[in-house]
Amino acid sequence: MKKLIGLMLSLLILSLFTVTGNALLRNVYLATISAEGTMTLKPLNFTFSMETNFTALVPNATTPGHYDATFHGRAIVYERPIIKFDGVLNVSGNIFWVKFGIEKPGGGELNPGIYGANATLSLDIKEVPPEQLEVTWFLMKGRINSYGGEQAFGGIIAHARMGPLMEQWANVHGLFALQEPLGGNRSFHVFRLVNVSEIGYEGKGLSITGLWNVYNVTITHYDDEFNLNIKIIVENGSGRLDANLEEGNFTLGIDKMKQIDGVIIFYHLAFRKLFERGIPLGDFNGDGKVNIVDIGRVAKAYGAMLGKPEYDFDLDVNFNFAIDIIDVANVARDFGQEY
Ligand SMILES: [Ca+2]
Ligand SMILES: [Ca+2]
């Protein structure tokens, strides 16, 4: 009897959550908003006219159209020529949260910092059509096996997101050595994409173009500690990763470097809606789910450092050359996810 009551309660709680979830989703829609008007930063009383476009979740009560509105929030001023805002828009009594950025107004002597921000704006709100909500996620893991035609040993991880509405995003990093990286003191080449300029996907191939940094990392081990000597050898060099999904190989060319070649050991493409989660990084055996097997692998390698045989590049999710608590936490966060 107790079990039955417990089960009923769980189902009731579950159904409540489901109903609330649906209700929440039904109350808002995704919109692009064009805003122009006058912004004032407090306590400076610095006023300027502004114009910007951004996306936001808008309550259904505010149907698409033209409106007068007020904004109250904060402005974060950086050294770089951009100001970011977050706060609430009040559109005829309907209030919702927004986030947007504008270029620093010309001639304004604005010091970096956080200011109060008030604006009167005229808005043009348009609902985003469903096809623009499509997002493509790509995850690839590869083994590096040659550098300029010479045998090399290493790995690469490329993670990218493409969609019509959002900025293209990619994270690519990897490392390789010219000797098999087993134990002892070793020298590695480490590369990282620092700025993505283009992501191309054609069904059989994926390319990521941008600026890359390359480092030479020398490791000295002292008992259970290790010392990294990091020297930058290419800074913001143009480069391009080409993954041939049909043939299962990839090449990476970076200015001033020889060509890096390797084989794809895993890749996955996922088609999602804008607000759905992407591909989790913590599925190490590639079976489509993050579960106890993956946690077990990262737990077993815990404490391993680059240059030691136990170090596994795939498990080093935050790429700091050690399998540490951050990697365990990253995988634990994705626990239970399937894709
Ligand atoms: Ca798995
Ligand atoms: Ca790590």
- CA 291 to ligand 1 centroid distance, Å: 6
pLDDT at position 298 over 90:
yes
Per-residue pLDDT tens digits for 24-75: 456 888 899 999 999 999 998 899 999 999 999 999 999 999 999 999 999 9
Distance 316 CA to ligand 2 centre (A): 4
| Residue 86 belongs to domain spanning | 28-128
Cβ neighbours, 10 Å, residue 156: 24
Residue 21 belongs to a domain? no
Residue 102 falls within a domain, yes or no? yes
Does 201 map to a domain?
A: yes
Q: How far is ligand 2, taken at its centre, from the CA of residue 305, in Å?
A: 9
Last residue of a domain, one of 105, 128, 151: 128
Q: What is the pLDDT of residue 131?
A: 81
Please give the sequence-ordered ranges of beta strands (E in DSSP) within the chain, or none if there are none: 28-42, 46-59, 65-77, 82-91, 94-103, 113-127, 134-147, 150-162, 169-177, 186-201, 205-222, 225-244, 249-254, 260-273
| Nearest bound ligand to the CA of residue 329 | 2
Q: Ligand 1 centroid vs 248 CA: distance in angstroms?
A: 21
For position 163, what pLDDT does the model report? 86
Last residue of a domain, which of 128, 156, 182?
128
Query: Does residue 159 share a domain with residue 68?
Result: no
For residue range 190-244, what is the model confidence (pLDDT) as tens digits?
999 999 999 998 878 999 999 999 999 998 888 778 888 999 999 999 999 999 9
Which residues, listed in sequence order, are joined to residue 74 by a DSSP beta bridge?
Answer: 86, 116
168 domain residue, yes or no: yes
Starting from the CA of residue 325, give the closest ligand. 2
If asked whether residues 255 and 145 sit together in one domain, one would say yes
Same domain, 146 and 266: yes
Smallest Cα–Cα separation from 335: which of 302, 293, 273?
293
Rounded Cα–Cα distance for residues 215 and 191 (Å): 6
User: Which ligand has the shortest distance to the CA of 330?
Assistant: 2
Average pLDDT over every residue of 101-107: 84
* Rounded distance from Cα 269 to ligand 2 centre (Å): 25
Q: Let me know: does 64 contact 91? Beta carbons within 8 Å.
A: no
Ligand 2 centre and the CA of 31: distance in Å? Answer: 38
Q: What is the pTM of this model?
A: 0.70
CA distances (Å), origin 317, targets 31, 40, 158, 232, 261: 34, 43, 12, 22, 22
pLDDT tens for 61-100 read 999 999 999 999 999 998 888 899 999 999 999 999 999 9
| Cα 177 to middle of ligand 2, angstroms | 19
Nearest bound ligand to the CA of residue 290: 1
Cα–Cα distance measured from residue 170 to residue 277, given in angstroms and rounded to the nearest whole number: 15
* CA–CA distance, 188 with 155 (Å, rounded to integer): 11
Judge whether 329 lies within some domain: no
Domain count across the chain: 2
Domain boundary among 260, 279, 298: 279
- State the distance from the centre of ligand 2 to the C-alpha of 156, rounded, in angstroms: 15
